[in-house]
Amino acid sequence: MNEFYNSQVILENERVKLIPFEGDFREQIKDIIFDEEVYYTVECKNEEELQTYIDETVNQRMIGNAYPFLIIDKLTNKVAGSTRFGNIQFNNKRLEIGWTWYGKPYRGSGLNKACKFELLKYAFEVLDFRRVQFSADVRNLRSQKAIKKLGATKEGVFRANYIDTSGVSRDDVYFSIIQEEWDDIKRNMFKEFI
């Protein structure tokens, strides 16, 4: 397995700190995850589903499928949500940023932009990847709007791209930022962090 998955990646700026996802923060996750608006990404309605989500998320890193993070709001020093690098292809120098969710008190607070800046910076400037992609359920207009605010280019709709927990095929909208665009996007969209 690639050493990347064994490394302790910690990303931070004045607003946010991203740490590797761990079950040690279960109680803080529990305080914010039982929310219908999080269901596009996570379906947690009870303690058992929460434990399953935590176990599966930790396991994704252990088996080399993804690198999940907990998002810490530096204003409150509490867990605000989660995000991850997924669909990582070192040979093609691309990955996806996604599976992101925030507890209700942290939505619209500026955390998402601060978080995505650190992830994009790491992908392009440390990993030296050439492409970062994002996807959102076609019904999730809030996520699509947030992705566009990052300077990402909308590429299209992938029809019947995944099957949800109730067995229904769902469509995803895909966006991307490529390495050649990163410097301009960083200067224009993320100037408060540089």
Please, which residues have CB within 8 angstroms of residue 66's CB and are 6 or more apart in sequence? 60, 84, 85, 86, 87, 88, 99
**Mean of the per-residue pLDDT values for the chain?**
93
Match 């509490």 to its residue by tokens.
78
Specify the CATH number for the domain of residue 27: 3.40.630.30
Q: In the chain, which residues have pLDDT < 50?
A: none
Q: What is the pLDDT of residue 40?
A: 56
Q: What is the pLDDT of residue 164?
A: 80
Closest CA to 84 of 65, 62, 110, 103: 65
Q: What is the pLDDT of residue 145?
A: 92
Beta pairing class for 78-89 and 94-102: antiparallel
The tokens for 92 are 């093609």
Range of the domain at 173: 3-193
Total tally of structural domains belonging to the chain:
1
Q: What is the pLDDT of residue 100?
A: 92
Q: What is the pLDDT of residue 43?
A: 76
Q: What is the pLDDT of residue 23?
A: 82
Q: How far apart are CA 186 and CA 137, in angstroms?
A: 26
